[in-house]
């Protein structure tokens, strides 16, 4: 029995030593993890504060640039002659040229604007996209009429005069929206070879959303040859950003 008791005492002694070792190590480990957590927390707070600081600087810069580059719109649509060129000193983009087609077909012609059949509007010549217009004309002759019932048809060349209201079909309107979406995308491109960026004005955001619906969920809400679209001739303005 004595050897067994001795072995038991030795085993109990070893267990006590192991518990003592754990108690002596765990506080050190906790202290180490606490330091790591404090470091991570400090680093996170530093990143957040730094982000807020630079975001504030960026907002001030954008606000300042916008104020500098915005022309007096009350005089910006007087014709193809823009107001004094404006240079943004922060981006070196200049000059900003505002182009308009006036208020009547006669003024549009005098200002050198071109009539765009797909949008049924007069457009300043530098902002006129011949490629999109040709693609629209090649797609199909949807029919153009001078009455709402589609009894008095005229050809596309008459409609393209841009002088009187014209009625057309749902199919024509669908292709109008396709051209509008393509023109919007192209207007966002920068022509790096010519260093000119075109910004078409006069096409509202709600019209863009309408066209997105037309070419997707509303495509078949009418027969394509149903005369249900009335188009009024108008004019749009555009703004050219020219890199020196």
pLDDT, tens only, 3-59: 444 555 555 555 455 555 544 444 445 455 555 555 554 555 455 445 444 444 444
Q: Which has more confidence, 118 or 19?
A: 118
pTM above 0.85, yes or no: no
Mean pLDDT of 93-98: 66
Q: Residue 124 belongs to what domain range?
A: 73-242
Residue 214's pLDDT is 92
Domain end: 23, 42, 69, which one? Answer: 69
pLDDT of residue 170: 95
179 shares a domain with 221: yes
* 18 and 85 inside one domain: no
64 with 107, same domain: the answer is no
Question: Which of 72-76, 90-94, 142-146, 197-201 tops mean pLDDT?
Answer: 142-146
Q: What is the mean pLDDT of the chain?
A: 71
* Stretch among 9-23, 46-60, 102-116, 142-156 having the lowest mean pLDDT: 46-60
42 and 100 belong to one structural domain: no
Are residues 137 and 204 both part of a single domain?
yes
The whole-number pLDDT of residue 52 equals 44
Q: How far is CA 212 from the centre of its chain?
A: 14
Residue 236 banded pLDDT, cuts 50, 70, 90: confident
Same-domain pairing of 198 and 117: yes
Picking from 12, 40, 69, the residue at the C-terminal end of a domain is 69
Domain end (from 69, 84, 102): 69
243/217: higher pLDDT:
217
Number of domains in the chain: 2
Same domain, 203 and 120: yes
Same domain, 39 and 132: no
Examine the domain organization and report whether 17 and 82 are in the same domain: no
Determine what percent of the chain is predicted with pLDDT higher than 90: 37
Query: How confident is the model at residue 204, as a pLDDT?
Result: 75
């Amino acid at each position: 029995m004595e050897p067994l008791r001795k072995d038991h005492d030795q085993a109990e002694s070893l267990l006590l030593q192991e518990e003592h070792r754990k108690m002596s190590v765990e506080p050190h480990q906790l202290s180490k993890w606490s330091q790591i957590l404090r470091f991570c927390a400090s680093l996170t707070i530093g990143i957040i504060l730094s982000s807020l600081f630079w975001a504030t600087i960026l907002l001030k810069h954008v606000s300042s640039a916008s104020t500098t580059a915005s022309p007096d719109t009350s005089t910006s649509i007087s014709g193809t002659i823009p107001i004094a060129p404006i240079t943004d000193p922060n981006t070196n983009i200049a000059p900003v040229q505002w182009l308009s087609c006036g208020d009547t077909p006669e003024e549009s012609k005098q200002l050198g604007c071109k009539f765009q059949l797909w949008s049924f509007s007069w457009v300043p010549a530098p902002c006129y996209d011949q490629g999109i217009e040709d693609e629209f004309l090649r797609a199909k002759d949807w029919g153009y009429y001078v009455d709402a019932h589609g009894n008095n048809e005229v050809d596309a060349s008459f409609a393209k005069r841009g002088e009187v209201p014209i009625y057309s079909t749902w199919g024509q309107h669908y292709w109008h929206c396709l051209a509008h979406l393509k023109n919007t995308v192209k207007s966002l491109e920068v022509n790096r070879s010519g260093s000119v960026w075109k910004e078409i004005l006069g096409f509202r955001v709600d019209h863009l959303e309408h066209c997105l619906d037309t070419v997707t969920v509303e495509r078949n809400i009418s027969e394509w040859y149903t005369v249900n679209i009335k188009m009024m001739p108008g004019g749009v303005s555009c703004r050219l950003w020219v890199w020196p």
